[in-house]
Chain A
Amino acid sequence: MPRLGSCQVPTAFRTTLEFTLSVIESPPYETPTRSTAPPRHRRTALRASGLLMAALTLLTVAVLSMAVGAKQIPPGEVWHALTDRDAAEYAVVRELRLPRTLLGLLAGAALGVAGAAMQALTRNPLADPGLLGINAGAAAAIATATALFGLGGGTGQVWFALLGAAIVTVGVYAVGGGRAATPARLALAGAALNAALYSYVSAVMLLNAAGLERLRFWTVGSLASADTGTVLRVLPFIAVGLLVALAAARPLNALALGDDAAQALGARPAVARAGVILAITLLCGAATAACGPIVFVGLLVPHLVRALTGPDLRWLLPYCALLAPVLLLGSDVLGRVVGRPGELQVGLITAVVGGPLFLTLVLRTRTTRS
């Protein structure tokens, strides 16, 4: 579409004018769809079947997560162990592995969708709840609560995590939302915030030996402590967060064109932004409260998914919600296999697996140009 320069033209008029110009300038005899891309309905069918594949992959990983561990259960017998009260593995599967798997599903979906929404909101390819310090904000709030009030898990922990996540989300958006903030600068601001918050968390742990004993296991990022109560506590927050994020997909798509164009398309930028910030806060806060600060899931999954779906958030977000848990649960299963007879925490695996991927991303893209 041709640009009209910087003259002040009313938005609606300008849009009409640009559209007319584009029609005039487009060469004649061109079919409405580009010849290389498949027609629209076929593309939709392709994406929908891809979504189905993603769901099947997730199901496979979930079954693996219930089967693999200190006590091996053949994947074929997982369903039997899950439903039959008299099965020998009923207790193991029902009370340990099922909550753990469900928590992995919820937290993974939360982190993946939050990452994708954040990258769209800040228009920044390096946005990630872990790298920008939102998870660390939740961690700092929980550390404070543990030290001051001796808070031990429970719903209170979730609320504190949400508070911490909210403060940092708004702060990061204030710093990184503007157009002047390049990806590298935003990442740097986030890293500095991370350093500050972690040094605070370690100071709290130092002063409080009981807190250290609890928090050192939590700050790695682990699904091991999951029980049914944990899952039920975070479920409502993550469900609401996911719904809000999915509802914001269309306005966010419009916002990618710039505020003026988005308004012309009927979106309300301020409302959309507030909704996305709310969703990110709910998702990151709840996920961090349940399984500790986990990095790289929210960064990598949207990037990998974008190669499949393109930038349309209406497809990107559902794909992320299905494929991010694949990464998280897969890492968890890997940790159980590699760390035998014990296990390695999932936060370590995502850091070690995700880190090199992040580095290749950084070295490949042009964002690193100063």
Chain B
Amino acid sequence: MIVIRTPGRLSVRLHPRVLAVGAVCLLLTVGVGVLAVGHGEYPMSPADVLRTLTGGGSAAEEFIVTQLRLPRLVTGLAVGTALGLAGAVFQALVRNPLGSPDVLGFTQGAATGALVVVAVGGSSAALAGSAALGGVVTGLLIYLIAWRRGVHGYRLVLVGIGMSAILTGVNGYLMTRVPLMSASRAMLWLTGSLDGRGWSDAVPLLVALVVLVPALLACAPALRMTELGDDAASGLGVSVHRMRMLLLAGAVLLVALSAAAAGPVPFVALTAPHLARRLTRAPGVTLLPAALIGALIIVVADQVALRALPGQLPVGVVTGVIGGGYLVWLLATERRAGRL
């Protein structure tokens, strides 16, 4: 650990391992991203891709890269970053490795919002907006129900699980109310897919990221304090409940907007923070590495879905299956270690 002290009273701690993991993740993401942009009906070499991106390609190449392939990549990156960050915040707030938006009902809320639009009939923009609204409303409801002179980890978890079970019933019902064609469209959306995403899908989430990432990262030191327990954190000058509310609001917004952009891609928010913690071996909360790893996971999973698997499978299938396997392994090891 390196500590840098400025002549004033500021000091910054740097963990070389965290920096290294972050750098490697970033490099890998850029590398896979370049390969991803080069892949398709009109194959391009990495050199061509880089040349086009810097403005040196032909008009056709320019169109293919910036209008067709880059939006998909950027949407994936943004969704991964948002989910990784939100997952890390949730797990720190709930103080349990399993506290992720998939488990706590936010995803189901977004799905309900989307399914209502599918059932009533509406444009893709309406669907995305309704999904985001559903996620936010669910988050608000869970928070209000769990509130009792402040919100504590396990009550939040249990209320979330209850809401998630209720909404699963509602979603199943909505699925039976639509014709089969709409049902498969809804199913594709519910699985989480990046197919045919344009700039209009990515922009709202990118704006939210620009605002929320610095805000959440600024809360990280306070979040680390609460790991000592609410009382100790209060004693150290952290306004625990206000911080918790702000973090929760930010994380719910990120989850809701990423669901609007690509559907509820499962298990990224659960696995990314774990991998971050294991790889960096940093004590406590690791927000930024989790965000970077989330982006890497989605980009890689999308490439696996496109290249390695038959048919046009959405990215959510890959993250769902891999995430599910990881979860089983996690349950087994955490149980053995007595942390579950």
A362 in the interface (beta carbon within 8 A): yes
A249 in the interface (beta carbon within 8 A): no
A193 in the interface (beta carbon within 8 A): yes
Enumerate chain A residues within 8 angstroms of B266, measured Cβ to Cβ: 195-196, 199
Query: A131 with B321: in contact, given A195-B102, A209-B180 (CB under 8 Å)?
Result: no
A196 contact from B96, B165, B311, B324, Cβ within 8 A: B324
Whether B98 lies near A192 (C-beta < 8 A) is yes
Enumerate chain A residues within 8 angstroms of B163, measured Cβ to Cβ: 355, 359
Minimum Cβ distance to chain A for residue B81 (Å): 21
Whether B166 lies near A202 (C-beta < 8 A) is no
Whether A199 lies near B169 (C-beta < 8 A) is no
Whether A345 lies near B173 (C-beta < 8 A) is yes
Query: A191 with B164: in contact, given A199-B266, A216-B176 (CB under 8 Å)?
Result: yes
Whether B95 lies near A295 (C-beta < 8 A) is no
A352 in the interface (beta carbon within 8 A): yes
B173 contact from A197, A296, A348, Cβ within 8 A: A348
Complex Cα–Cα for A174 and B335 (A):
9
Tell me the residues in window 7-21 of chain B with beta carbons closer than 8 Å to chain A beta carbons.
Answer: none
Closest chain A residue to B172 by CB distance? A220
Minimum Cβ distance to chain A for residue B155 (Å): 4
Query: A363 with B148: in contact, given A187-B161, A351-B169 (CB under 8 Å)?
Result: yes
Which of A219, A348, A356 neighbours the largest number of chain B CB atoms within 10 Å of its CB? Answer: A348
Enumerate chain B residues within 8 angstroms of A198, measured Cβ to Cβ: 168
Whether A188 lies near B161 (C-beta < 8 A) is yes
Closest chain B residue to A351 by CB distance? B169
Whether B169 lies near A295 (C-beta < 8 A) is yes
Complex Cα–Cα for A188 and B160 (A):
10
Whether B267 lies near A196 (C-beta < 8 A) is yes
Whether B165 lies near A358 (C-beta < 8 A) is yes
Enumerate chain B residues within 8 angstroms of A345, measured Cβ to Cβ: 172-173, 176
Whether B172 lies near A221 (C-beta < 8 A) is yes
How many of chain A's residues have a CB under 8 angstroms from any CB in B?
A: 55
A34 in the interface (beta carbon within 8 A): no
Whether A175 lies near B340 (C-beta < 8 A) is yes
Whether B327 lies near A130 (C-beta < 8 A) is no
Whether B175 lies near A216 (C-beta < 8 A) is yes
A221 contact from B102, B103, B169, B180, Cβ within 8 A: B169
Minimum Cβ distance to chain B for residue A176 (Å): 9
Tell me the residues in window 91-108 of chain B with beta carbons closer than 8 Å to chain A beta carbons.
Answer: 95-96, 98-100, 102-104, 107
Enumerate chain B residues within 8 angstroms of A192, measured Cβ to Cβ: 98, 100, 102-103, 270, 327, 331
- Contact string against B for A residues 214-242, beta-carbon threshold 8 Å, 1 for contact and 0 otherwise: 00110111000000000000000000000
B314 in the interface (beta carbon within 8 A): yes
Enumerate chain A residues within 8 angstroms of B173, measured Cβ to Cβ: 220, 344-345, 347-348
A206 in the interface (beta carbon within 8 A): yes
Of A99-107, A178-186, A260-268, A320-328, the one contacting chain B is A178-186
A212 in the interface (beta carbon within 8 A): yes
Whether B190 lies near A202 (C-beta < 8 A) is yes
Whether B324 lies near A368 (C-beta < 8 A) is no
Closest chain B residue to A222 by CB distance? B176
A169 in the interface (beta carbon within 8 A): no
Closest chain B residue to A204 by CB distance? B317
A122 in the interface (beta carbon within 8 A): no
A-B interface pairs (CB < 8 A), number: 167
Query: A199 with B320: in contact, given A212-B180, A216-B176, A359-B162 (CB under 8 Å)?
Result: yes
Complex Cα–Cα for A64 and B223 (A):
56
Minimum Cβ distance to chain A for residue B328 (Å): 7
Whether B103 lies near A348 (C-beta < 8 A) is no
Whether B162 lies near A358 (C-beta < 8 A) is yes
Closest chain A residue to B180 by CB distance? A213
How many of chain B's residues have a CB under 8 angstroms from any CB in A?
A: 58
Whether B340 lies near A351 (C-beta < 8 A) is no
A203 in the interface (beta carbon within 8 A): yes
Of B132-140, B181-189, B280-288, the one contacting chain A is B181-189
Closest chain B residue to A140 by CB distance? B324
Minimum Cβ distance to chain B for residue A366 (Å): 11
Minimum Cβ distance to chain A for residue B327 (Å): 5
Whether B99 lies near A188 (C-beta < 8 A) is yes
Whether B145 lies near A363 (C-beta < 8 A) is yes
Query: A203 with B172: in contact, given A187-B158, A188-B161, A189-B331 (CB under 8 Å)?
Result: no
Whether A352 lies near B158 (C-beta < 8 A) is no
Enumerate chain B residues within 8 angstroms of A363, measured Cβ to Cβ: 145-146, 148, 155, 159
Whether B165 lies near A295 (C-beta < 8 A) is yes
Complex Cα–Cα for A54 and B39 (A):
66
A72 in the interface (beta carbon within 8 A): no
Which of A175, A206, A352, A369 neighbours the largest number of chain B CB atoms within 10 Å of its CB? Answer: A206
Which of B102, B173, B175, B314 neighbours the largest number of chain A CB atoms within 10 Å of its CB? Answer: B173
A370 in the interface (beta carbon within 8 A): yes
- Contact string against A for B residues 322-335, beta-carbon threshold 8 Å, 1 for contact and 0 otherwise: 01100110011001
A246 in the interface (beta carbon within 8 A): no
Query: A351 with B96: in contact, given A126-B158, A212-B183 (CB under 8 Å)?
Result: no
16 additional contacts, CB 8 Å, given A193-B331, A362-B158? A175-B331, A175-B332, A181-B340, A185-B340, A187-B157, A188-B161, A195-B267, A198-B168, A199-B320, A200-B321, A206-B188, A220-B169, A345-B176, A355-B166, A359-B159, A363-B146
**Sampled A-B contacts (14; CB under 8 Å):** A187-B161, A189-B331, A193-B327, A195-B102, A196-B327, A199-B320, A202-B187, A212-B183, A213-B180, A219-B172, A221-B169, A355-B166, A363-B145, A363-B148
Residues of A within 8 A of B (CB): 126, 130-131, 171, 174-175, 178, 180-181, 184-185, 187-189, 191-193, 195-200, 202-203, 205-207, 209, 212-213, 216-217, 219-221, 295-296, 344-345, 347-348, 350-352, 355-356, 358-359, 362-363, 367-370
The 7 nearest A-B residue pairs measured at CB: A351-B169, A355-B166, A196-B324, A199-B320, A220-B172, A348-B173, A184-B154
